[in-house]
Structure 1
Amino acid sequence: MPELTTLGKAIGAGFAMVGALGPGIGIGLLVQGALQAIGRNPDASGNIQTNMILGIVFAEAVAIYCLVVALIILFVLQ
């Protein structure tokens, strides 16, 4: 039965990491939009870059939470 428990934990951790797909796609779209905006208006690059970095940080936090949940499933739950 330990093999079944290990398999269940691996599948659960994999499903937990599916939540990291959204932030990855969101960060890509965010950077794309920021680069297009800087290309249209280079004078506003400082403000655009600051807002882009804040958006990346908030999106990346969600991915880190998914990683923490996956690690808890793998190593803490019995």
Structure 2
Amino acid sequence: MNIDLTYSGLAALGSGLAVIGAGLGIGKIGSSAMDAIARQPEASNKIQNAMIIAAALIEGSALFGIVTTLLAVFK
């Protein structure tokens, strides 16, 4: 068995898990933000700002995971 092929497969699996995790996290943030805005419409600006910051941090960590797996493949 070729060791490079094994690393490529594991890197693809890791990249996929990073993207799935980010999608679930951003979906949960959006859902919770919509619930919070429905309960307190006057606080929608603060909730939206917090939601965008949290989504950007999750997206950044997913991108870091993808870049790390690509570095593992093309070392």
TM-score when scaled to structure 1? 0.80
2:71 corresponding residue in structure 1: 72
When Rg is computed on C-alpha atoms for both structures, the one with the higher figure is 1
Report deviation, 1:52.
Answer: 0.3
CA distance in 2, matches of 1:27, 1:35: 12
2:31 corresponding residue in structure 1: 32
User: Are positions 1:43 and 2:31 aligned together?
Assistant: no
CA distance in 1, matches of 2:30, 2:72: 32
What percent identity do the matched residue pairs reach? 32
Aligned length: 74
Structure 1 portions without partners, runs of 5+? none
TM-score when scaled to structure 2? 0.82
Report deviation, 1:60.
Answer: 1.1
CA distance in 1, matches of 2:14, 2:67: 9
CA distance in 2, matches of 1:60, 1:19: 10
Runs of 4+ in 1 over 6 A off after TM superposition: none
Structure 2 portions without partners, runs of 5+? none
Report deviation, 1:20.
Answer: 3.1
Report deviation, 1:57.
Answer: 1.1
Question: For structure 1, which segment, 44-53 or 56-65, has the greater mean C-alpha deviation from structure 2 after superposition?
Answer: 56-65
CA RMSD of aligned residues (A): 1.7
